[in-house]
Amino acid sequence: MPNPLLDDRTVDFLLYEVFDVERLTELPAFREHSQETFDLYLGACRKLARERLFPSYRAIDETPPRLENGRVKVHPLLRELYPRMAELGLLNATRPESVGGQQLPAAVASLSNAYLMAANLSAYAYAGLTSSAARLIESFGSESLRDEYMQRMYGGEWTGTMALTEPQAGSSLSDVNTRATPTSGSHHLMSGSKIFISGGDQDLTENIVHMVLARIDGAPPGVKGISLFVVPARRQEGDRLVPNDTAAAGVIHKIGWKGIPSIALNLGEGGDCHGYLVGQPHRGLSYMFQMMNEARLMVGLNGVSTASVAYQEALEYAKTRPQGRPLRNKNPEAPQIPLIEHADVRRMLLRQKAIVEGGLALLCYASREQDLAEHAPTAEERREHQLLLDLLTPVAKSFPAERGFESNTLSVQVHGGYGYSSEYLPEAWLRDQKLNSLHEGTTGIQSIDLLGRKVSIEGGLAVELLGREIARAVGDARAASVNAGWCDAVEKAFASTRDVTRHLSSLGSPEATLLHSVDYLELFSTTIIGWMWLLQAAAARRALAKRPEDAARYEGRLCAAQYFIVTELPRVELLAALCRSGEDSYARAEPDWF
Amino acid sequence: MPNPLLDDRTVDFLLYEVFDVERLTELPAFREHSQETFDLYLGACRKLARERLFPSYRAIDETPPRLENGRVKVHPLLRELYPRMAELGLLNATRPESVGGQQLPAAVASLSNAYLMAANLSAYAYAGLTSSAARLIESFGSESLRDEYMQRMYGGEWTGTMALTEPQAGSSLSDVNTRATPTSGSHHLMSGSKIFISGGDQDLTENIVHMVLARIDGAPPGVKGISLFVVPARRQEGDRLVPNDTAAAGVIHKIGWKGIPSIALNLGEGGDCHGYLVGQPHRGLSYMFQMMNEARLMVGLNGVSTASVAYQEALEYAKTRPQGRPLRNKNPEAPQIPLIEHADVRRMLLRQKAIVEGGLALLCYASREQDLAEHAPTAEERREHQLLLDLLTPVAKSFPAERGFESNTLSVQVHGGYGYSSEYLPEAWLRDQKLNSLHEGTTGIQSIDLLGRKVSIEGGLAVELLGREIARAVGDARAASVNAGWCDAVEKAFASTRDVTRHLSSLGSPEATLLHSVDYLELFSTTIIGWMWLLQAAAARRALAKRPEDAARYEGRLCAAQYFIVTELPRVELLAALCRSGEDSYARAEPDWF
C-alpha cells in the first residue's frame, strides 16, 4: 500500500465528528462554504500531495540546494511543484475574496495542508512562508505595497521569506542590528547580515520578497527600535526588475528540509539595497509577532505531519514484515509472524498514534480557535477565543516538535536495522523533524512564552477559559459513557495544572517562576493532549453507538485514548511536584562545575 | 578548547575514587599491574584518541564506504588509524600474556577505549569487532584455528567480523539458514546470505575473518541447530592466500558509523567457500552469546562515549556563545551573556551530564564485574559476580542507547539553529548514536532478556545480589553524609523494583509478564542509574571532606546526583504502577485498529 501520509478517516473524524467544523458555515464569514466545498479543497490537497509532492520527496532530499556563482540552485523538481500549489489556491486559501482568497476556515486549510507537509515538507515551506509574508503585507502594508507585492505573492508569481535572525543575535531579537537609513525617496537604504533565511535565494521564481527586521538610524535600542521592511531581491525600476543588492553569502548545510535552502543573506553590501517600511516605524516586532504566532502553529503542523508520514510507514512495515514467533509458541518450523503481532511493536505503534493524532487534534482545535477569534459573532467571544489560542500556541508548536521527534525515532526503531539505512525513509523524516524544536522559537523559548506570559495575561483568564473547555469536554465524555476513570484523570490533571500555575505565578521573581519552565511546558502539554484524547474518545463512543459496523477504527481511537490517558497523563502529577519543589540542581550549578 | 572527548577527571574519579580499581591488583590475575600501568594505558589511549582518531572523524563521516568492482573501499585515513590501535595493544589488552595480551582489567580497558570510541566510533569498531572475533576463537577454537587466525587478528594483521544476521531472519536467529555442508576435508562448504555485516569487506588489511552462524546439513531446526564457523575472506592454500568465495553483494547506506561498511555478504555463490567449525556442532549460539554479552557492553560504551563527546561539545559552546540577557535585566545595551547562564540551558547540560556520567559509571561497574566474574578468588564469588553482570548487561546496553540518544538530541538543541547544520558535529553524533538501540539486540529484545530471563535465573538470585549491593551503597552514602532524602529515594526505588519484579514474574504467562517489558526495563534502568549516582555522591562527599580545594568538580557531581535522583528517580513509582496495572491498550489493539 502506498503511504497515505495521513489517515483520511482520522482527518475526517477530527473535522466532522470531534470538532464539527461544518458548524463554522453558520458564521457570515464562511456562509459560502459547506462540507462539500471543504471536502473539495481537502481532496485536491490529498491528490496533489500523494501524486506529485510525495513521489518527489526522496529525490529532493538527496540533492540539497547549492550556491553557484552567487546564486542558489534548488532541485529542479521544485519548479514543477510550486506552481501546482499556487494553482490550488493554497497561498491565500483562508484569505477573503477581496484579496483573491477562498475564505476557507483555517481548520480546514490546516488539515488539508498537513497532507502537503507530510508529503514534502520543504516543498510546502515555500508556500507557507510566502503566504505568511504576503499576509503581513496584507495586514500592515500600504496600498502600494499590497498592489506591488502581496498580489504577486498570493498569485504564486513571487515567493516570500522572513528575515529576522542575525548571526550575533540568534534568538535574541533585541540584538538585531541590520540598519535602515532614510532617504529622500520612499525607500530606506538597508545594510546588514541575516542568517537562517529559509528560501532566501532560489531559482524558482523571478523575484523573492524578504520581510526584514531592521533598525532605522537613531532608533531606540532593543525590541522597541525594530521596524519591518519589504526588501525584494529585485526591485521595480520603470518597467523592469533590477537587482536590489541582496546577496546569498552562503548556504547552511542543513540536515533535513533539503528542498529549501537556508541561507546567510547580506543586504546592501554595495550600498544600494532598497527597503520599504511596512506600517509604522519601531512597530516591526509587534507586526512580526502576528506572523510568528501563525508560523508557530505551522511548525506544529509540520511536526505532526512529519510524525504522521513516518508512523504510516512504520505501520505498513510492521503489518507486512515477518519477524520472529509468538512468545507462547517458538516452534522454529512454524512460519514467522508479522512484526505487529509483537506486543512491544504494537506499543511503539500505539505511542506514535497517540502522539500523531493527539497532536493533530490540537492543531485542528487551535486553528478552529483562529477562525473563531477572527469571525465569532461578538467581540467578547472573539477575545476569548484569541486568549485561548494564544495560550495553546506554545503547546501546539512544541508538543509535535518534541514528542513528534520521539515518534519519528520510534518509526526508525520499528524498521530495525533497515531503519538505520537511507534506503528507507524514516531516517529522513527524523532529520526533518529535528528542526521543529529549533526554529520559530526553541522549546525553551516556548516554555517561557507560556509560563512567563500567556498564563498570566488578564489575571490568568486564559487558564480559566481552558478550564471551562476541559470541564465541558469531561461532561460530554461522561454523557457519552467514556470510561469514568479517564474522565476523572483528565479532570485531575487540569486541576493540578491550574494549581501549579497559580503557585509558580505567585513566586514573585521571574527566576523562581521560570526555573522549571520546560518541565511546566511538558506538564501543561500532557494535560492538553489528554484533553484532546478525551474529546476523541467521546466522539468515538458516540460513533460506535450509532455505527457499530465501523467499529475497528473507533476501537483503535479508544485504545490510543486509553494509552495516552493511562500511561502518559499520570506524569502530570510528577511534573507538578517537581515544579513546586523548586528543585535547584541546575540553578545552583556553576559553569565550572560541569 | 579542543573537545576532550571524555572528562579526564570524571574517568579518574570513577576508576580510583568510586570503584577503587587499583584494588583489582590484589588479585593474582592483575598482580603485575598498578595504578601506574593503568594510567600508562589510559594515557596512551587518550593521546591516540585526541591526536589521531578525533581529527579524522569529520573527513571519515563525510566520505562513506563504497562498493567498486565488487570490493569495498573505505576512507584511506583508516589505513593509518587501524595499525595505530593495534600497536597500542588494544586488540588483546585484557587477554593473558599467553596470547600476547597485557591482562589489563576490563574496567581499565573499557574506560580507556571509551576515548577512542568518543573520538571516532567507526574507526574503533574495526578493533572492537576483531578483538571479539579473535576472543571467540581463543575460547572455543582448535589449536590450529588459534594459530592460523587468532594470532594474526590480535596482532592487527587481519580483522574480524560477526556474521549472524540474515535478510529473512533479522533479530530472529532461529531462522538463520546459511548452510554448511561437510566435506571429506577439514572444512565445510558454506552457502548463504548474511546482512548488516560490519566491516564485512574493506581495503585495510589483506584478510578478513568472518565468524559465521550456519546450519550443518541435517541439523535440527531453530537455535539448537546452529553452529559457529570461521570463514575467511581469503584462505590459505599452500603458502598463499586465495579468494574464499565470499562476496560483498551491497553496501548498506547507513546514516552514521560512516567509517565502517555494513554489507550484504554472500557466501559460496561459486560453491567454493570453506568454513572451519569452531568447537562442537550445534553449539554455535551458546558460543556466540559469550561474545554477544561482551558486545552488548561494548555497545553500551559506544552509547556513553557518543553522548559524552557531544555533551563536551555542547558544554564548550554554551560557555562561549553569547546569547540573550538575564531574565532580571533585559537592558539591550548591556552585553549578551553566555548561553550557559540561562537556566534551561544549564538544565539541558546537567541532564546530559547525568546521563553520560551515570552511564559511564554503570559501564565501569559492569566491566569490573567482568573482571571479578573471571578472576575473583572463589568459585562462589565468581558465580555471584557473573550473575550480577548478566543482570546488568541489558541495562548497560540499552540505557546509553536510549537516554544517550536523548542526550545527543540535547546537544543539538543547545547549539540552536547551528546544531541543525552539518558544519557542526552534534548532528553527526546523533546519527551515530541511533544505531545503538538497534544492533546487538534492539531495546525490546534487551527488555525481554532482562524480564524474561535474567531476573528469574536461580530463583531471582541476581536481584537479591543487586539488593545487597544497593543496600551497601546506601549505607556508605549515609556514612558519608550524603543527603538522607537521596539515600531514602534509592532505597525505595529498589524496593519497588524488587516488588514489581516478583509480581510480574508470578503472573504465569509470558504474555502477561512481558506486556510492559520496555516500561520495566526503563524502571529497572532508572533505579540502577540512581544507584550509580548515589555511589558517586558518596565518593564526592568523601573527597570534599578530604580535599575542599577541588570543590568545583565534586560539587558538580553532587548537582548531577541531585538532578537524577530528585527528577528522574520518582518515575520508578509511576512505571511500577503502570507495569502492575496490566494496562492493556496495545495488548488488545488489532492490526486494523491503527
Task: Give the 3-state secondary structure of A94-154.
Answer: CCCHHHCCCCCCHHHHHHHHHHHHHHCHHHHHHHHHHHHHHHHHHHHCCHHHHHHHHHHHH
What sections of B49-76 are H helices per DSSP? 54-62
Phi then psi for residue B200, to 5 deg, are: -65, -20
CA distance, residue A348 to nearest chain B CA (Å):
9
**pLDDT above 80 for A167:** yes
B325 with A444: Cβ contact below 8 A? no
**CA count, 13 A, side-chain hemisphere, B481:** 5
Per DSSP, what are the bridge partners of residue A227? Answer: A214
- Which amino acid would we find at residue A383? R
Q: Do B586 and A347 touch (CB under 8 A)?
A: yes
Phi then psi for residue B147, to 5 deg, are -65, -45
3-state secondary structure of B94: coil
SS3 breakdown of chain B: % helix, strand, coil, rounded to 5?
Answer: 65, 10, 25
Q: In chain A, what residues touch B507 (CB-CB under 8 Å)?
A: none
Phi/psi of residue B395, nearest 5 degrees: -75, -45
Chain A residue numbers with beta carbons less than 8 Å from the beta carbon of B122 are: none
CA distances from A354 to A308, A532, A560, B305 (A): 11, 10, 5, 33
Q: What is the pLDDT of residue A261?
A: 97
Q: What is the pTM of this model?
A: 0.97
Minimal Cα distance from A402: which residue of B? B409
Residue A571, chain B, CB below 8 Å: the answer is yes
Nearest to A589 among B328, B332, B559 (CB): B559
How is residue B239 annotated by DSSP?
T
Return the residue in A224, A308, A420 with the most chain B beta carbons within 10 A, the one to mutate for interface testing.
A420
Catalytic residue chosen out of the listed positions A166, A313, A402, A440 = A440
What does the pLDDT look like over A443-470, one tens digit per residue? Answer: 999 999 999 999 999 999 999 999 999 9
What CA–CA distances, in Å, run from B162 to A126, A420, B194, B512? 47, 18, 10, 34
Q: Does A550 touch chain B (CB under 8 A)?
A: no
Task: Assess B299–A contact: CB distance below 8 Å, yes or no.
Answer: no
Burial code (b: 16+ CB inside 10 Å, e: under 16) for A239-261 equals eeeeebbbbbbbbbbbbbbbbbb
**C-alpha cell of B134?**
579473535
Cα gap B171→B162, rounded to integer Å: 14
Least CB-CB distance to B585: which of A350, A438, A577?
A350
Confirm whether the ipTM is greater than 0.90: yes
Interface touch B175/A587, C-beta < 8 Å: no
Q: Which of residues 210-239 of B touch A (CB under 8 A)?
A: 221-223
Query: In this structure, what DSSP letter does residue A222 have?
Result: G
Nearest residue of A to residue B341, measured between CA atoms? A591
Mark which residues 255-274 of A lie under 8 Å from B by CB.
255-256, 262
Taking an 8 Å cut-off on Cβ atoms, the answer to whether A585 and B434 are in contact is no
Distance from CA of B8 to the nearest CA of A (A): 12
DSSP string, B130-146: HHHHHHHHHHHS-HHHI
Residue A237, classed as helix, strand or coil, is strand
Among all chains, which residue has been given the C-alpha cell 530495525? A416
Q: Which positions ≥6 away from B309 have C-beta within 8 Å? A: B3, B5, B6, B118, B119, B429
% of chain A beyond a pLDDT of 90: 95
Which of B351, B586, B590 to probe the A interface (max A CBs under 10 A)?
B586
Is the CB of B508 inside 8 Å of chain A's CB atoms? no
pLDDT category of residue A529 using cuts at 50, 70 and 90: very high
Distance from CA of A586 to the nearest CA of B (A): 5
Q: With a CB-CB cutoff of 8 Å, which residues 175-194 of chain B face chain A? A: 175
Question: Which residues 459-498 on chain A approach chain B with CB closer than 8 angstroms?
Answer: none
Contacting residues for A33 by C-beta, under 8 A, at least 6 apart: A24, A25, A103, A104, A105
Q: Which of A253, A324, A338 sits opposite B171 (nearest CB)?
A: A324
| pLDDT attached to residue B135 | 96
Cα–Cα distance measured from residue A6 to residue A308, given in angstroms and rounded to the nearest whole number: 6
Q: Quick one: pLDDT at residue B290?
A: 83
Question: For every one of its 594 residues, what pLDDT tens digit does chain B have, with 9 covering 90 and above?
Answer: 899 999 999 999 999 999 999 999 999 999 999 999 999 999 999 999 999 999 999 999 999 999 999 999 999 999 999 999 999 999 999 999 999 999 999 999 999 999 999 999 999 999 999 999 999 999 999 999 999 999 999 999 999 999 999 998 877 888 899 999 999 999 999 999 999 999 999 999 999 999 999 999 999 999 999 999 999 999 999 999 999 999 999 999 999 999 999 999 999 999 999 999 999 999 999 999 888 899 999 999 999 999 999 999 999 999 999 998 998 888 888 999 999 999 999 999 999 999 999 999 999 999 999 999 999 999 999 999 999 999 999 999 999 999 999 999 999 999 999 999 999 999 999 999 999 999 999 999 999 999 999 999 999 999 999 999 999 999 999 999 999 999 999 999 999 999 999 999 999 899 999 999 999 999 999 999 999 999 999 999 999 999 888 898 899 999 999 999 999 999 999 999 999 999 999 999 999 999
* pLDDT beyond 90 at A170: no
Q: End-to-end distance of chain B based on CA atoms, in angstroms?
A: 50
Residues of A in contact with B443 (CB under 8 A): 413
Chain A residues with CB-CB distance to B66 below 8 A: none
Residue B231: its H or E element: strand B227-232
| Beta-strand pair A246-251/A240-243 | unpaired
Instruction: Report in angstroms the alpha-carbon separations of B29 from B41, B103, B543.
Output: 17, 7, 30
Q: Which residues of A touch B553 (CB under 8 A)?
A: 593
Answer for the pair B410, A443: CB distance below 8 angstroms, yes or no. Answer: no
**In sequence order, which residues have a C-beta less than 8 Å from that of residue A553 and are 6 or more positions away?**
A9, A10, A13, B593
A8-154 classified as CATH 1.10.540.10: yes
**Looking up cell 552514521, which residue turns up?**
B256
**Whether B174 contacts chain A with CB within 8 A:** yes
Chain A and chain B share a number of CB contacts under 8 A equal to 262
Inter-chain residue contact A252 with B347, CB threshold 8 Å: no
Q: Do A589 and B336 touch (CB under 8 A)?
A: no
On whether any CB of chain B is under 8 Å from the CB of A549, the answer is no
Residue among B266, B291, B129 nearest B194 (CA): B266
Q: Choose the mutation target among A253, A509, A593 for the interface with B, i.e. most B CBs under 10 Å.
A: A593
**A-contacting residues of B 361-420, CB under 8 Å?**
405, 409, 412-413, 416-417, 419-420
| Interface contact flag, A590 B552, Cβ < 8 Å | yes
The architecture (CATH level 2) of B159-282 comes to Beta Barrel (2.40)
* Structural contact between residues B130 and B260, judged by C-beta atoms closer than 8 angstroms: no
A262, A346, A438: residue with CB nearest B419: A438
